Amino acid sequence: MWTLFKLTNFCWLLTSTYIWVTCLFNQGPILVVVNLIMVFCLSMMPIQFKLDKTLGRVSAAILLIGLWFLWIDGPVMGLTTILMYMPVIWLLQLPFEYKEELLKFTTKWYAILLIPALLEYWMTLFINLPSLGQFVHPNYVPFTNYGFFIKTTWDSGMLVRFNAFFLEPGHQALLSTFIMIANRFRFKACPWLWILLISIVFSFSLAGYLLAATGYILLKVNTVIKAVIVGALGAAAVSFAISWSGGNNAMNDLIISRLEQDSSKGIKGNNRVDHNTDHTFDKTVKNHDLLVGVKEKTNMNLIAGAGYKIFIINYGLIGVVLALLFYLSVIPPHPDYRYTIAFLIVIILCFMQRAYPSWYSWLFPYVIGIYLAKGEKERKLIA
């Protein structure tokens, strides 16, 4: 039963991050099956269900979010939202050793799947690799399907970014970053993390780079010497990207140049929303509709992009507060404060540009990470 739980958890992690194999399916029925399998497996395992204050807080937070989405989007979306957060309840039932094994299993098999994806990606840069045909999604330009890697057919004149088997490079970079943080960047203890790091590098995702760097600095840089080393390596990487081929390279075009100052957007890479979205958000602020959003008053077909502005337009500041309350409710008593705060900061930064707080690629690494950190802290105190 434990193996079935691990497999179900892993499959839902990929599905919720929009792997191409299942991204066209209705997530509602999948969520019902996932939750039923998880609770069935737990009931058949030698584990006692814990009914404590933390579980009460988490359950209340899930109910509040579900009710809010029900009020905004209707009963189907409300129930779907509850089902999306419910796997966290099953994760909380796992003892420390089970959580530890679950993270190791997930990290290992995610990295194993990324290896052939990376190989296919690199091969397509140099040869005409035979494909499985096209994969078509209604919201994207068609992809050339190589199985483990789906390549966009949009020719921007730049190097194709690595998205693996997900719809976007940012999806892959986000999941890889969060799993690395859950593992506390312990490359020696878990060599599979090198595969995740390579995947982030070739995603050329500005958000992925910044989130991974922020997480690493917050967790690992605790001395002046480490800060100097990290700063020097970062400066060297930037200098190399700017000077290599006179700046005519993917790293400079897709990352460095996007960090340049922009009078209206802050930095050039701040392109998560379009003009209509910015205009609607500004109007929402001026009309004092921030609390509940303006979804019913707006033609949402004209709203495009991702990030906190679209989330507020849809669900208002109340939706933001409820999502934050959930992430706070999960925190156990007497946690590893540095680790928990660091991960929460990364979550908040991610929300600013990619506001999907109900995605399991956020929930699983965050919950497993903070509880493993708490367990390690307690073991050190006992020792």
Q: What is the mean pLDDT of residues 361-375?
A: 96
Contacts of 267 (CB under 8 A, 6+ apart): 258, 259, 260, 261
Whether residue 205 is contained in a domain is answered as: yes
First-last CA distance in the chain: 33
Rg (alpha carbons) of the chain, rounded to whole number:
21
260 shares its domain with 125: no
Q: How many domains does the chain have?
A: 2
Strand (E) or helix (H) holding 37 = helix 27-44
Check pLDDT > 60 for residue 80: yes
Whether residue 290 is contained in a domain is answered as: no
Strand (E) or helix (H) holding 165 = none
Task: Please count the other Cβ atoms lying within 10 Å of the Cβ belonging to residue 290.
Answer: 17
Q: Is 84 exposed, middle or buried (CB count within 10 Å of its CB: 0-12, 13-18, 19+)?
A: buried
- Give the model's confidence band at 279: pLDDT under 50 very low, under 70 low, under 90 confident, else very high: confident
- Give the model's confidence band at 213: pLDDT under 50 very low, under 70 low, under 90 confident, else very high: very high
Check pLDDT > 80 for residue 99: yes
Whether residue 126 is contained in a domain is answered as: yes
Check pLDDT > 70 for residue 369: yes
142 shares its domain with 230: no
Q: What is the mean pLDDT of residues 89-100?
A: 95
250 shares its domain with 102: no
189 shares its domain with 226: no
202 shares its domain with 241: no
State the Cα–Cα distance between residues 369 and 153, nearest whole angstrom.
Answer: 37
Check pLDDT > 70 for residue 326: yes
Q: Which residue has the higher pLDDT, 237 or 62?
A: 62
104 shares its domain with 238: no
Q: What is the mean pLDDT of residues 236-257?
A: 56
- Give the model's confidence band at 163: pLDDT under 50 very low, under 70 low, under 90 confident, else very high: very high
235 shares its domain with 213: no
In the chain, the largest separation of any two C-alpha atoms, in whole Å, equals 62
Q: Which residue has the higher pLDDT, 265 or 117?
A: 117
Q: What is the mean pLDDT of residues 207-214?
A: 91
Could you tell me if residue 354 is left (phi over 0), alpha (psi between -120 and 50 degrees) or otherwise beta?
Answer: beta
144 shares its domain with 26: yes
186 shares its domain with 235: no
Whether residue 181 is contained in a domain is answered as: yes
- Give the model's confidence band at 261: pLDDT under 50 very low, under 70 low, under 90 confident, else very high: very low
Whether residue 293 is contained in a domain is answered as: no
203 shares its domain with 266: no
Contacts of 159 (CB under 8 A, 6+ apart): 125, 204, 250, 254
Q: What is the mean pLDDT of residues 41-61?
A: 90
27 shares its domain with 109: yes
User: What percent of the chain has a predicted confidence (pLDDT) above 90?
Assistant: 61
The range of the structural domain enclosing residue 257 comes to 221-271
Whether residue 76 is contained in a domain is answered as: no
Whether residue 318 is contained in a domain is answered as: no
Cβ contact 369:181 at 8 Å: yes
pLDDT averaged over every residue in the chain: 86
pLDDT at 160: 81
122 shares its domain with 266: no
